A = this chain, B = another copy of it.
Amino acid sequence: METVRLPRVMQDTAIKERCRGKSIGLVPTMGALHDGHMALIRAAREENDIAVVSIFVNPTQFAAGEDFEKYPRDIGGDVEKIRELADVLFLPDVSALYPEGHSTSVDVEGLSGLMCGAFRPGHFRGVATVVLKLFNIIQPTRAYFGLKDYQQTAVVRRLVKDLHLPVDVVLCPTVREADGLAMSSRNAYLAPEERKAAPVLYRALAAGADAIKQGEKNASRVREIMREVLAREPLVKEVDYISAYDPETLQELENVEKSGVLLAGGVKIGAARLIDNLVFNGLQ
């Protein structure tokens, strides 16, 4: 595995390889890699000639007061995990991706203000901006995202379509711990008791999904069922949101249909803000 730090070097290499007919699979990450990332990287490796992993803790996607400074970083451990799998590690400095005088941002309106976006102002603008930069620099044939960050995947798919980017966005299933907790770098923030409580979010979503499978069509009833599960866990400090949404527009639903429903929630447990979702639309 080669490590590349400079955008210009990465871009020149990528354009050269693409023109030689090689496909490039990109897995954009913020590091602190877990099995969810590893599944994306294996998919990128299997489906492309060249697998590129980017590690960049993107400052612009952290809202004011969020955990940018203490976001888990473990470059040494990450390199160990991916060195046999990835061909290139793209590891830019902040000043390389946001040069002096930087003032361009990309906004996917509508999608960005809903769900997590309502609680993380500017978050998806930062995501869209950095993803576009990475696509321009790495020129991927395919880019791999985990469905655990469902809203992010919706924003990226819309970005790609609206800006006519020649990239296939590949979505991979959420990878879970044995007790159902969705894998996330932020799970590292959980104290042992909180870690034991954390799968409650998955259980709440699963209870909503069960109700739908059993024929429940009233979205507010599904919402109540999920909130009741969360309410039984005292370590849930705050429920930012949990509801049934349209998987494309992310608008909250009044009536649910098995063929197209996103159940998603965001909660605070201890110092961690956890998100998770289950989607019924053929994607998962």
Q: Which of A32-40, A46-54, A158-166, A252-260 contacts B (4 or more CB under 8 A)?
A: A158-166
A104-B106, A106-B105, A107-B104 as given contacts; A99 in contact with B162, CB under 8 Å: yes
How far apart sit A11 and B165, CA to CA, in the bound complex (Å)?
9
Interface flag for A178 (CB, 8 Å): no
Interface flag for A15 (CB, 8 Å): yes
CB-nearest residue of chain B to A132: B163
Interface flag for A57 (CB, 8 Å): no
- Size class of the contact patch on chain A: 20 to 34
Q: Which of A108-116, A197-205, A261-269 contacts B (4 or more CB under 8 A)?
A: A108-116
How far apart sit A145 and B162, CA to CA, in the bound complex (Å)?
23
Interface flag for A214 (CB, 8 Å): no
A103-B111, A105-B109 as given contacts; A136 in contact with B164, CB under 8 Å: yes
Interface flag for A192 (CB, 8 Å): no
Copies of the chain in the assembly:
2
A18-B19, A19-B18 as given contacts; A163 in contact with B103, CB under 8 Å: no
- Nearest-neighbour CB distance to chain B for A181, whole angstroms, equals 32
- Nearest-neighbour CB distance to chain B for A19, whole angstroms, equals 4
Interface flag for A234 (CB, 8 Å): no
- Nearest-neighbour CB distance to chain B for A92, whole angstroms, equals 10
Interface flag for A275 (CB, 8 Å): no
Asked if residues A15 and B164 are in contact (CB atoms below 8 Å), the reply is no
Instruction: Pick from B103, B132, B158: contact of A108, CB below 8 A.
Output: B103
Asked if residues A103 and B162 are in contact (CB atoms below 8 Å), the reply is yes
Asked if residues B18 and A164 are in contact (CB atoms below 8 Å), the reply is no
A contact set with B: CB distance below 8 Å? 7, 11, 15, 18-19, 21, 98-99, 101-111, 128, 132-133, 136-137, 158-159, 161-166, 248-249
* 7 nearest A-B pairs in the assembled complex, by CB-CB distance: A104-B162, A19-B19, A103-B109, A103-B110, A136-B164, A137-B164, A104-B108
